[in-house]
Structures are given as structure tokens and as C-alpha cells.
Amino acid sequence: MSTGSTQSQACCNTPAVVSKGYQEKGEYIEVQGMKTYATGPKDAKQGILIIYDIFGFFPQTIQGADIMAYTDKEHPYQVFMPDFFDGKPADISWYPPGDDKDKQAKLGQFFQTLAAPPKTLERIPKVVGELKKSRGIEKWAILGYCWGGKIVNLSSQESTLFKVAAAAHPSMVAPDDAKGTVIPYIMLPSGEEPKDDVEAWQKELKVPHAVEWFPDQVHGFMAARGDLEQEKVKTEYERAYKLVLDFFHKHM
């Protein structure tokens, strides 16, 4: 099991990351009644399901999906990001809530309702089933950001539909989730994830895995909270996607 640095080798041709005004390469389709961002070559037989963060569709997250889909011509993926919040994501101005009672209340209500994990978990098999039939995908990987990282953890247990998993700056990391993980797993914590929680989770893993810390990055840097106008953030954003792709290539 690897827990050290996983330097990228396969993804040497990552498209240039755009800091502002990103134009998506994919399209929006409907899957199980949800607006879904779909990108990647339509003849690719491998698929990636992306579970976004609580802020829903964001340019940085959409760009990440396109990177996953098109970076390596030898490993093309069809990538799908459903709108599990049905058009009602959290407002990014609520985060971080700090001592603001109103923001705390709004986030708390959101997590108890639209972001309650069981609601999303029961929809995932239906999404995968529909896309297998309509797009001919034979093998699946799953990638989640922040809140989506928790969904990935819970989707990597016995009878999982996925071959490999990745969680970027995940929320609610719990050792008990690791005990039941049955597929290879890469986690990319930022400097804002509790180190003790991640280390306790890692100790319980019994599958091939990698943990790569990004200690100078904020929670959400690979998704909605990534300020890609900052050169350091942009560089680490690109490196993080390379790491995930390499891990997926190895274990798909």
C-alpha cells in the first residue's frame, strides 16, 4: 500500500488550466431526471462519475471534469457530473461560516436536507445503470470533492459499482468508512482537513491506496473554492488532477 508521494507520469499533456472564463468542452444531458454535465469521447468504454461539492456546478469543477476526460488519449473517459441538488446548491458566500449564525444555520439546514448522504447514495446505482445502457460504459471510477468525498467513501464499500475511487479535500472523514472500503482509493487532503482524522482513516484501509497532502491549499482547491488566478493554486490544481488520473489509469 502506498502512502507517499505519487508523482505523475501518464498525464504529461494536461490541457492548459484556464483561470478565468473557462469554456466547457462537454454538454448537459438529463440522467434520472437530473441535469448532468457530460464530457469526454462518446466511444470511451471507461466512465468516471464525479460527485461535486456543495456548491454544485462551478467553472473550476467543470474544467476538472474536462481534464479527467481528455488529458490522456490512451486512457479516454466519459465523465458525468449529475446535479444531485436539483438546481439548489449551497451559496458559496455561506462558506466559511465562521461565527456568522445565519450562515451556520443555512449550511446546517442544507446538510440535513439536500446534502443528506442517503438521498444521494440511493440515486447513484440508477445513474450508473442508465449510463451503462445509454453510453456503453464497461468500467467505472468515482471522484468526489469535499462533501462529495464522503459520498465516495460510502460508495466504495462491499458490492460497489466502481473499480477505483478518489476523494479530494474530503469532508467528514471517518475511520469506520475505511474499514469497509473494498477498492483502490486515493485521497488528496488540503491543509484544512484534520490530520488526525485522515491518519486514523488511513490506518483502517486494507486496499491499495495513496494519500497525498496539499498542505498549502484550502479546502475545495480542486473544485469551487480554487482560486486559479493564483499561480500556486493553479499549479497544485493541475498536479492534483494528474495524480488522480495516474491512480485511475493504474487501477482501472
What digits encode the pLDDT tens for the residues 126-136? 999 999 999 99
What digits encode the pLDDT tens for the residues 160-210? 999 999 999 999 999 999 999 999 999 999 999 999 999 999 999 999 999
Give the pLDDT confidence score for residue 10 in this predicted structure.
38
Give the pLDDT confidence score for residue 11 in this predicted structure.
38
Over the chain (252 residues), what is each successive 10-residue block's mean pLDDT?
Answer: 35 63 95 98 96 94 96 92 95 86 91 91 97 95 97 96 97 93 98 95 97 96 94 95 96 94
Residue for grid cell 440511493:
122
Residue 231: all three cell numbers together = 499561480
- CA–chain centroid gap for 118, Å, is 18
Query: What is the CA angle 170-212-189, rounded to 5?
Result: 25
pTM value? 0.92
Residue for grid cell 471517518:
174
Give the pLDDT confidence score for residue 97 in this predicted structure.
84
Distance CA 77, CA 95 (A): 32
Pairing label, strands 164-168, 78-82: unpaired
Give the pLDDT confidence score for residue 123 in this predicted structure.
97
Q: Would you tell me how many other CB atoms lie within 10 Å of the CB of residue 174?
A: 15
Give the pLDDT confidence score for residue 238 in this predicted structure.
94
Give the pLDDT confidence score for residue 102 in this predicted structure.
93
Contact 167, 188 (CB under 8 A): yes
Distance CA 137, CA 100 (A): 45
**Which one, of 125, 121, 124, 242, lies nearest residue 186 by Cα?**
242
Contact 219, 190 (CB under 8 A): yes
Residue 2: all three cell numbers together = 502506498
Query: What is the CA angle 140-40-9, rounded to 5?
Result: 75
Contact 141, 163 (CB under 8 A): yes
Give the pLDDT confidence score for residue 217 in this predicted structure.
96
Q: Per CATH, the architecture of 27-251 is what? A: 3-Layer(aba) Sandwich (3.40)
Q: Would you tell me how many other CB atoms lie within 10 Å of the CB of residue 230?
A: 13
Question: What are the residue boundaries of the structural domains of the chain, listed by start?
Answer: 27-251
Contact 69, 25 (CB under 8 A): yes
Residue 172: all three cell numbers together = 467528514
